Structure 1
């Protein structure tokens, strides 16, 4: 080898190591700068998630951190998520800025729940940091928020190689997504987010206003709780989204530490209260309602606790929120099974919220990756939930409207049924069931009209005593057939007579039937050409009827009384009373016709004597209460007693109760008499209770008692004074008394009902106007008059009246009491028809207290 060749070879050998060294140095330089980001001013933003390293030990200072070599690297572009922790973390990345940045740039952290963030900038890793800013300073210095996330401004005219160190800390979850944004792009993004959040919170605000209006309008607590729930959801979303930090508490990031758990607890509390009110679980399931009460109590305690310990409160709030969502979904499913149609919206709403909240929380706890779906899952879930709950409330309004319309239709049908029954009962009540002729009600109406027109007319009362005798000896059917024939002949005779007043044109009917075996008619005297007494005797003279079973004619004996208006009275009651007195004189004197005159004054004198003797008799306790039992529908069990007034006078003998009442009412003594009756009734009820007879007690009231404003309160006070259960006291009022001062009567009856006592409408079916007010009266019982009960087994019309009355009682949810049950056949028929209580001689006649107690004991042992 020549020297030149060796030299050349040596030069080649010298050249190769230098080239290799240069390549190695270049590779090292490339590797060292592999994570360095070159920032150009013409690009709007950069994502730094894949270019950062991090150091979990966040308690070190910046000086210590720059000396650390054990930085952990990220190998993907996912968000750094350390889960639920209160530890701080350091992040590091490098920037290379070839030319100075002419526009403002921001280091943006799109996670507003971070409480403390510090940014340090170093040139080539050399201390000290030439730039430092934290979140509080950035939010205080800027004039307006540029982002709903954390935005830390970079210094102006920044260039060259820059090492970025970031320290982040939060008391809840710790996520640190990092990006660089140019100011104009950040403002555009802020504008778009403002639009999205404006739509979201605007919808919530609209729902609040709408449901608040509904709450104030219809006073339904469900709408009030729903408004509170939307407000609490709004507060929660203000914390999660950063809108609250941007607009409401800018510069106070620690406020979110308290607002977040408090709003979570409020969401749980308001959700449970809304569910209780919305699904009305208090009316359906006590167990579910109790569970929701417990959850609401825990939520309320948690709201208070979070103000003391917000860090642990956030953990507890999240756990309780999870349990509440599970509870409400279970409650909704139970509601579906219970047949609550609107519960389907409820289940869908909470399922949507649960899905959104679960995705968000799983990303918070680093189970799911952080992305656009998990970041906005809570927003989408809550929006879907409030919309579905709004649909549920709207559907509820529709259902309630449908129920109200259905209830209104049912009420209308019931009212029509009541009206039909009323008309039917009124028609039957205005006519005699045996003959079909008008009864005393129509007679009184026509007589009142005659008196009002100042006409001179005569009221004639006719009685056929043989009819009742035949009824007792040969049967009611035969007696009724004979009575119908008599009435038909009498009506035919009157039809062709001048002066006879027609009571009803459709038949036509000239006579009325006050009671079985009696008839009444009116004669206008101004048109009468004959003398009154011969005319009446000619009309009502002996009638011949045939007894079909024996084919023999029977001449009917009769006696009649006549009273003339205005000479003998200016009211239907007085005329009827005088005509009745004249008829009694006709019977005693054995004359066919008797016109009332002054000679018939024994009755009036007796009434005056009785009126004088009544107050001393009350003072001396001469009047007593007799008790007649009331049995249950089968007639086997004693359930009550009616207390009937009896006066056995040493001077007058046994005075009829009706006469005592008439005297007391006409003489103004009814208040004194009724107070005495109430006092005696209270003592009687005490005695019955002492004898272990826990039954009801009924007493009768006069219409004058009901129009006296002091009587009812004093009677109620007397009952309370004797410690008598009010639900065992029954006050009976007659149907016809309802027509006197209706408003005052209803007011007194309402006071009785409000005190807990019961009210029975006595002699039902004998009046003629009270059915029109039946729905207004606070009554509990209908007492079917004995005139219908006594003939219901032998007369189809009376049976129809009883059936319709029982049907009316069931329609109005009233108890029915049949009085005048005198035989087993009637009792059995009433039992079949479902009458609640039975009263009559078939069980026992009225008896003194001690006798009754003995009877009750014997009856209970038999």
Structure 2
């Protein structure tokens, strides 16, 4: 019986298959099939007919014979489709007419039997989605009546503000749900990737405060909105029942994506720093995107068309900008170019299918999604590479900063080292000495602060050069430090280099003696320590012990603070210099002396103006001592307040206080008046005037002095300027220039205190000298000391060899006078003949000698 029942069914199937083959516009639906494509079973036309009745009366239906998707491009007209369905038996399951193109805004479905109106069934996309009684779908899914059977005609009216594509399919509900689940997995993965990138880059933006990440987040959000419209996921999950919404969302999301892509590219590649031209182009394109957003609200239909054109322009611009970035040496631009090229290919395939230039298929439908995923992933790689580059730059900057900090610390340590040590000798300076002194005074220890000054070191610097003087000083300090180290009572100032000496200044030294550990007299001990050293420079042994000045102050007797102790030690050192003693321990008398010096300094300028300073004259006799041939002009100050102030003290105060120019101008002005008086008294003798080193280094003073000679009509051959050997050592070139100026005027130059220095022989041939004055320290002992006699003899021989006159100072007895006369000395000066006298007394004395 069952076999007999199968025969009619088989014959029916063969008949239906023949019928389908014979009529391409008629499709037979079998219940056991799950899906049918209607693309090659439809007829269609474009028109504005609004009702089914009008569509039925339309006569120009176009037949479609292939299985391709009906693609009408951008059109503002509605499209009508019809096809015939044959259902041999009623449908037992729910079936759907599916249009896999979610951008259709209006879709109306009509079922007509035998072309008789009214339609037996009608539904629309909006109605179906608003009820949500049927299965969700990412496409337009219109349910068919479940009791449908027989032969019916299917009419479909569709309209869209964007492109018009009509892929028409029939799906059984279970198969549609299965497809929906597969698409949900696909789109879930797609939007999951985009969401993860949004969260990740948003975190980076909030952490790094870099606008590039913020623009990238906004760009991904815009792309996500665009893909929600294109994919149908938006209709399936968010705005179902509102198919008009994508009309606005599609162009706006495209414009936003273009805008944020441009902003991201500008910030990412930093084009404002690379090329103003490309930066200006991106700004213009961003402005167009903003205009499109506004325009879309007024005309969304054309806005969609313009959005596609703008997207194409922006993608081309971004690829071009990326290539320009590569040429400019921006390494991460390669990711940028690959990303936008991928998106451009995907978008191009999709848009070409939209404009009906490529067939609609699986590839073109999903090309834009694939391209966008590739793009955002590549851009994420670019941002990751950017983070890596920035991290590398920051690490490099951090290394540079650390290196700079180390260098700064090294410089700080070096500065501290330099601040605490003398640059020449590398010994501690006064700062380190002061720290040690404060610490020991805080412990109530009895300490002797000793300040030593070697003035000849600076003399060597002026005459032989600073480098030689530094070598001399370093050797001297080295030997002195070595000697102090072995005494056991001198405080070690720095254990690292076993330094016992501090250097308060070039040519000076200081050290501390722990008197709690010391026994015996202090002054002889210090003199023996500091004054018995010789140094060797270029194989020449020079005794560095002459003109030694040393001051000592003891804590707590002479001061309860380091400042006062330094002050008293300095005062003692100055007293050592003025008294010509090697070591001077501070006492109250020194304070009185220091106060007196300060008072003298204050009183000297008004004394000069008041004329309190006088000029005395000391005679110079011929070699026999019988005839007056000249006089030396000497300064005397008989102060009403201080009494007789020694000339050396006056000169020293003037030199230290910067009053030497004022004092010297006063002296030479009075000297010219004195010589005028001598001429009027018929005393035609030479007059010697002493000049200091400050006078010789001041060209204005020499000019002033010579101008005074001319003004007072004094014969220049009667004027002798005396300069000391030590003055030659200070600024030799300036001194020689002044001496040459004096010699060219016709005045004579005498070298005073000859023999007390050690550099005059090196420069004697360069100096315009006319006289040599032998210092009284040799003259006074020449009769009893063979060494002094030898010095005097050799000096006189040198004078004769150089054709210079010789003047002997300090002649105080006849034996000395006779010996000097015998040796051939030209002039004699000393107390044997007369002491310095005021002008009137000198004139009387000279007249008496003449008679």
Partner residue of 2:449 out of 459, 472, 475: 459
In the alignment, does 2:254 pair up with 1:254?
no
User: How far apart in 2 are the matches of 1:87 and 1:137?
Assistant: 21
User: How far apart in 1 are the matches of 2:596 and 2:84?
Assistant: 127
Please report how far the alpha carbon of residue 494 of structure 1 lies from its aligned counterpart in structure 2 after TM superposition: 2.2
User: How far apart in 2 are the matches of 1:552 and 1:205?
Assistant: 90
Partner residue of 1:374 out of 348, 353, 364: 364
Please report how far the alpha carbon of residue 202 of structure 1 lies from its aligned counterpart in structure 2 after TM superposition: 1.4
3-state SS of 1:168 partner: strand
- 1:656/1:208 Cα in 2 relative to 1: closer, same or farther (>3 Å)? farther
Q: What is the TM-score with the length of structure 1 in the denominator?
A: 0.64
Partner residue of 2:224 out of 231, 234, 237: 234
User: How far apart in 1 are the matches of 2:291 and 2:565?
Assistant: 81
Deviation readout 1:420-477 (Å, 9 max, x if unpaired): 5555565555443443433333323322332333322121111111221222123334
Please report how far the alpha carbon of residue 552 of structure 1 lies from its aligned counterpart in structure 2 after TM superposition: 6.5
Partner residue of 1:533 out of 523, 529, 536: 523
User: How far apart in 2 are the matches of 1:158 and 1:254?
Assistant: 31
In the alignment, does 2:306 pair up with 1:316?
yes
Equivalence map 1:538-687=2 (5 Å) = 538-541=528-531, 543=533, 553=543, 555-601=545-591
Moved more, 563-572 or 218-227: 563-572
User: How far apart in 2 are the matches of 1:87 and 1:538?
Assistant: 123
In the alignment, does 2:214 pair up with 1:224?
yes
3-state SS of 1:103 partner: coil
- 1:339/1:493 Cα in 2 relative to 1: closer, same or farther (>3 Å)? same
Please report how far the alpha carbon of residue 356 of structure 1 lies from its aligned counterpart in structure 2 after TM superposition: 0.6
In the alignment, does 2:174 pair up with 1:181?
no
Partner residue of 2:325 out of 307, 321, 335: 335
Q: Which runs of 5+ in 1 are unaligned?
A: 1-25, 610-651, 658-789, 792-862
Moved more, 116-125 or 559-568: 559-568
Equivalence map 1:284-295=2 (5 Å) = 284-295=274-285
Question: Does the 8 Å CA contact 1:35/1:93 hold for their aligned counterparts?
Answer: yes
Residue 383 of structure 1 aligns with which residue? 373
Please report how far the alpha carbon of residue 573 of structure 1 lies from its aligned counterpart in structure 2 after TM superposition: 3.9
User: How far apart in 2 are the matches of 1:292 and 1:605?
Assistant: 84
Equivalence map 1:640-789=2 (5 Å) = none
Deviation readout 1:768-791 (Å, 9 max, x if unpaired): xxxxxxxxxxxxxxxxxxxxxx99
Number of residue pairs matched by the alignment: 592
Partner residue of 1:482 out of 466, 472, 491: 472
- 1:361/1:573 Cα in 2 relative to 1: closer, same or farther (>3 Å)? farther
User: How far apart in 2 are the matches of 1:171 and 1:325?
Assistant: 24
Question: Does the 8 Å CA contact 1:464/1:558 hold for their aligned counterparts?
Answer: yes
Equivalence map 1:797-808=2 (5 Å) = none
User: How far apart in 2 are the matches of 1:437 and 1:234?
Assistant: 76
Please report how far the alpha carbon of residue 510 of structure 1 lies from its aligned counterpart in structure 2 after TM superposition: 1.9
Please report how far the alpha carbon of residue 571 of structure 1 lies from its aligned counterpart in structure 2 after TM superposition: 4.3
Please report how far the alpha carbon of residue 141 of structure 1 lies from its aligned counterpart in structure 2 after TM superposition: 2.2
- 1:173/1:547 Cα in 2 relative to 1: closer, same or farther (>3 Å)? closer
Question: Does the 8 Å CA contact 1:542/1:557 hold for their aligned counterparts?
Answer: no
Please report how far the alpha carbon of residue 366 of structure 1 lies from its aligned counterpart in structure 2 after TM superposition: 0.7
In the alignment, does 2:96 pair up with 1:106?
yes
User: How far apart in 1 are the matches of 2:448 and 2:170?
Assistant: 116
Question: Does the 8 Å CA contact 1:88/1:167 hold for their aligned counterparts?
Answer: yes
Residue 828 of structure 1 aligns with which residue? none
- 1:173/1:421 Cα in 2 relative to 1: closer, same or farther (>3 Å)? same
3-state SS of 2:493 partner: coil
Deviation readout 1:548-595 (Å, 9 max, x if unpaired): 677665652111222233344444444333322332232233333333
Partner residue of 1:72 out of 62, 67, 72: 62
Residue 845 of structure 1 aligns with which residue? none
Please report how far the alpha carbon of residue 364 of structure 1 lies from its aligned counterpart in structure 2 after TM superposition: 0.6
User: How far apart in 1 are the matches of 2:530 and 2:78?
Assistant: 120
Question: Does the 8 Å CA contact 2:109/2:142 hold for their aligned counterparts?
Answer: yes
Residue 206 of structure 1 aligns with which residue? 196
In the alignment, does 2:429 pair up with 1:439?
yes
In the alignment, does 2:147 pair up with 1:154?
no
Q: What is the TM-score with the length of structure 2 in the denominator?
A: 0.65
Deviation readout 1:592-643 (Å, 9 max, x if unpaired): 333334444479979999xxxxxxxxxxxxxxxxxxxxxxxxxxxxxxxxxx
3-state SS of 1:43 partner: coil
User: How far apart in 2 are the matches of 1:31 and 1:213?
Assistant: 62
Deviation readout 1:490-524 (Å, 9 max, x if unpaired): 33432332421122335433222221111111111
User: How far apart in 2 are the matches of 1:185 and 1:462?
Assistant: 112
3-state SS of 2:402 partner: helix
Partner residue of 1:119 out of 81, 95, 109: 109
Partner residue of 2:501 out of 491, 511, 520: 511
User: How far apart in 1 are the matches of 2:19 and 2:528?
Assistant: 148
Please report how far the alpha carbon of residue 264 of structure 1 lies from its aligned counterpart in structure 2 after TM superposition: 0.6
Residue 260 of structure 2 aligns with which residue? 270
Question: Does the 8 Å CA contact 1:542/1:556 hold for their aligned counterparts?
Answer: no
Residue 603 of structure 2 aligns with which residue? none
- 1:323/1:567 Cα in 2 relative to 1: closer, same or farther (>3 Å)? farther
In the alignment, does 2:126 pair up with 1:136?
yes
3-state SS of 1:556 partner: coil
User: How far apart in 2 are the matches of 1:200 and 1:608?
Assistant: 96
Question: Does the 8 Å CA contact 1:547/1:554 hold for their aligned counterparts?
Answer: no
User: How far apart in 1 are the matches of 2:319 and 2:560?
Assistant: 78
Question: Does the 8 Å CA contact 1:58/1:90 hold for their aligned counterparts?
Answer: no
- 1:501/1:324 Cα in 2 relative to 1: closer, same or farther (>3 Å)? same
Equivalence map 1:808-819=2 (5 Å) = none
Please report how far the alpha carbon of residue 45 of structure 1 lies from its aligned counterpart in structure 2 after TM superposition: 1.3
3-state SS of 1:268 partner: helix
User: How far apart in 1 are the matches of 2:595 and 2:300?
Assistant: 96
- 1:653/1:163 Cα in 2 relative to 1: closer, same or farther (>3 Å)? farther
- 1:606/1:61 Cα in 2 relative to 1: closer, same or farther (>3 Å)? farther
- 1:500/1:62 Cα in 2 relative to 1: closer, same or farther (>3 Å)? same
3-state SS of 1:512 partner: coil
- 1:484/1:60 Cα in 2 relative to 1: closer, same or farther (>3 Å)? closer
3-state SS of 1:41 partner: coil
User: How far apart in 2 are the matches of 1:552 and 1:83?
Assistant: 111
3-state SS of 2:30 partner: coil
User: How far apart in 2 are the matches of 1:603 and 1:243?
Assistant: 107
Partner residue of 1:196 out of 182, 186, 196: 186
3-state SS of 1:283 partner: helix
